[in-house]
Every structure is written in C-alpha cells, then in structure tokens.
Chain A
Amino acid sequence: AQKITQTQPGMFVQEKEAVTLDCTYDTSDPSYGLFWYKQPSSGEMIFLIYQGSYDQQNATEGRYSLNFQKARKSANLVISASQLGDSAMYFCAMRSLFSGGYNKLIFGAGTRLAVHP
C-alpha cells in the first residue's frame, strides 16, 4: 500500500532562515511522482514543486527545493530565506505513474509552519 508520512506536526523558523520539512513515502511502484503543496489559512492548495522518481536532479522552484533521497524514500522540502508569508500548512503527496494509480494523489497529514519575525 502507498503511504506518505510527515512526522512533524508543527515547525517554527525565524524569518530569513532556511527550514526543512520532512516527508517519507512508501510504495512498491517503480515509477511515481512526489508533490509538495502549500495551504494558507484561506484554504486553497497551492502547488509548489514536483519530483519524478526517475529525475536525476533534485527539483528546484525559486526558494523551494526538494531533497530527494530515493534509497531512503524521502522527499524533504527545503525553503530557503523564509518569509512571513510562508506561514501555512504544507502537504507532501505522491502519485503512482502507472495507469492504475495515475489519478490518485496520496497525501500526508501535513506540517504547519510558523515563520517568526
């Protein structure tokens, strides 16, 4: 069975510092995709970054980077130079790239990040 685990229910970081949000996953599929979403207090889910299981390099999108360690089945999100607007709930998610699981995005429980001035 596929599963996403986010072990940090809450994290605090000082403004302008970097922070790492942990995500481990479990799947038997050889081909899969990993996503990170941000959910501010308003409720909408905002796509941040994607990593494919066969991608050779770690994904980066602006201040977001994904530390992908395939052997450890981890896909941690790194936010550099934190800003007050980064305070939100962050979800890690996974999708199988086989047709049977292609439409199903499995989510972790989320990590609430608070950025302090």
Chain B
Amino acid sequence: DVKVTQSSRYLVKRTGEKVFLECVQDMDHENMFWYRQDPGLGLRLIYFSYDVKMKEKGDIPEGYSVSREKKERFSLILESASTNQTSMYLCASRARIAGQGRDTIYFGEGSWLTVV
C-alpha cells in the first residue's frame, strides 16, 4: 500500500513562529503536493513539487514556502505563522505516468495546525 505520512497530526503554534510540516512517501513518487483544507472551500493547492529541488506555486502560495531535498520528503514551511493560517494541511503524492489521467493522488492523514 502507498503510504504518505505526515509527521504531526496536531500542532499549536504562536503567531510569528516558524512552522515546519513534514511529509514522507514510500512509493518513489515524483510528484508531491501540499493542500490546505478549510470548511466550505474544499482543498486548495499551496505548492507542488515534480522532482527533487523542483517546485511550483499553486493557488495560494503566499505566506508559505516548500523544500524538497530528497525524493521521498516534501516540507511545508510557514516562515512567520499567522492566525489566518490555522487550517488542516494535507500532503499528497502521485507517480508520473505519461498519458494516463487516472493515476491516483494519495493523501496523508492531515495535519491540524492552530496558530494562536
């Protein structure tokens, strides 16, 4: 089974703190993603990475950065956490299979971040 593991399920951080959310996948997938989930808004893409050291902005990258130094690990960084970043964060990974749209994106269990 594909396993996407997020290091922290629940975090409480103070405004202005630097926050790291870690994600590891064990299937040698090229593509990894960070989404945030808010009630009534569904999931919104923050950043994705298509290879080691390669990244692209998603729909809501402001206030976030990412790091992908190893293929299996994709980190989301909040340089200076703010209360409007209180949310559920979901990491995902996908194998790159050319020409097949049905390749599945696998998600982790989510990290609930509260910024006070």
| B side interface size, CB within 8 A | 28
Contacts of B104 in A (CB 8 A): 47, 50
Closest to A105 in B: B105
Q: Size class of A's contact patch?
A: 20 to 34
Contacts of A35 in B (CB 8 A): 105
How many Å from the CB of B55 to the closest CB on chain A? 11
Contacts of B108 in A (CB 8 A): 44
How many Å from the CB of A91 to the closest CB on chain B? 6
- A:42-61 near B, CB below 8 Å: 42-47, 50, 52
Of A70-78, A80-88, A107-115, which binds chain B? A107-115
Contacts of A6 in B (CB 8 A): 42
**B56 contacts A by Cβ under 8 Å:** yes
Most chain-B CB neighbours within 10 Å: which of A43, A46, A97?
A: A43
Bound-state CA distance A44–B90 (Å) is 8
If A33-B102, A103-B31, A104-B58 touch, whether A44 touches B42 (CB-CB below 8 Å) is no
Contacts of A44 in B (CB 8 A): 107-110
Bitwise interface map of B from 3 to 32 toward A, beta carbon under 8 Å scored 1, else 0? 000000100000000000000000000010
Bitwise interface map of B from 38 to 64 toward A, beta carbon under 8 Å scored 1, else 0? 001111110010100000101000000
Select one of B43, B109, B112 contacting A91, CB under 8 A: B43
Bound-state CA distance A45–B105 (Å) is 9
Most chain-A CB neighbours within 10 Å: which of B90, B101, B105, B107?
A: B101
If A44-B108, A103-B50 touch, whether A95 touches B101 (CB-CB below 8 Å) is yes
- A:5-56 near B, CB below 8 Å: 6, 9, 31-33, 35, 37, 42-47, 50, 52
Q: Can you spell out 22 A-B residue pairs with CB atoms less than 8 angstroms apart?
A: A6-B42, A35-B105, A42-B109, A43-B9, A43-B88, A43-B109, A43-B110, A43-B112, A44-B109, A45-B43, A45-B107, A47-B104, A50-B101, A52-B101, A91-B42, A91-B43, A97-B101, A103-B94, A105-B33, A105-B43, A105-B45, A108-B42
- Residues of B bordering A, CB below 8 Å: 9, 31, 33, 35, 40-45, 48, 50, 56, 58, 88, 90, 92, 94, 101-102, 104-110, 112
